[in-house]
Amino acid sequence: MTDQGKINREGARPASLFERADATYGLDPRRTAPKLPDVPPVPETVRRAAPAPQVEPRPGSSAKPAPPPSAPKAVAFCGPFVRIDREHLRVAGLIVPEDPVTGLLEEFRIIKRELLADARAGDTPLARRILVCSPHPGEGKTYCATNLAIALAAERNLEVLLVDADVVKPSVAERFGLEADHGFMDALADPAILPESLVIRTDIDGLFVLPAGTATARDAEYIASARTGEVLDRLTQGAPDRIIIFDTPPALAASPAAELAQHVGQALLVVRANETSRAALEDAQQLLSACGDIKLLLNATRYSPSGRRFGTYGMKGN
């Protein structure tokens, strides 16, 4: 009898396919699969907290990292261009760039070296802002600020901006023989005015002048406002080769010097030999204490403690 004719004795029915497979391969249809241990469901919060898979960029991918933000560019001075009358400078007793070297020029060369060294060592816009002041009127602050600006402008690749911040008695423009109706105070009073548009460009290479501008009854409040910092930041940011010199009112006569001292890195306190008292010098120094670097310039001296004299060294023809 063939396999097909076999009868399942237990149930009197033909063997099923599963039964025949069990007979051939040893499977037992009555044996159940082992029960797996229960696995608790993963909480929803855990599923949400699972980190997303990191996708590595494929080799040769065209995706590039975003470039770092660029540094701010310096604003260009774009006010009117004016030629300076050299004879006017000579009559005023100022340094004339094209003239032979004088003792006056050598003295301001020495002064500017120390100021430049500290400005470059600080390497910040604040260090490149220099305030020139005096305790009382008539001690020579504007004369020194003007000559210092001319001497500094002689440096290669250096821009020097001389700001007339003495709005009570402005005289910087007069020293250069300039005429100007608008300037520093107009930029402080009106946020819509770009300060660089008021800067006068001169034919002395590297020298620029920002006149005092229109005087008002609120000049002290304008200088004490946040607008002053904004204007000065605009004129100095992104310009590592730009020096700003401020000619301010006397420290003991008006408040702008003390206010501007907060916005500069160096202060040059001009005192007149045999005239400025020690008490006035100490009081002025206290008013300028917001500036961490105050230097003293002794003006109108008639002798040198070291015996040095300038302007006599040179070559003489046969």
Residue 36: the pLDDT is 47
Helix intervals (H) in 132-171: 141-153
Q: What is the DSSP string of 161-217?
A: EEEE---SS--HHHHHT---S--HHHHHH-TTS-GGGGPEEESSTTEEEE------T
Residue 38: the pLDDT is 58
Domains and CATH numbers, the chain: 81-299 (3.40.50.300)
Residue 252: the pLDDT is 96
Stated pTM of the model: 0.75
Ordered mean pLDDT values, 10 residues apiece, the chain (318 residues): 46 52 51 51 48 58 59 88 97 95 94 95 92 96 97 96 94 94 96 97 98 94 96 94 97 95 97 92 96 93 58 39
Residue 65: the pLDDT is 62
Residue 301: the pLDDT is 77
| E strands in the chain | 81-82, 129-133, 159-164, 200-202, 207-210, 242-247, 266-272, 294-299
Residue 67: the pLDDT is 59
Residue 175: the pLDDT is 95
The dihedrals phi and psi of 146, each to the nearest 5 degrees, come to -70, -45
Residue 72: the pLDDT is 74
Please check whether residue 118 is in contact with residue 127, taking contact to mean a CB–CB distance below 8 angstroms.
Answer: yes
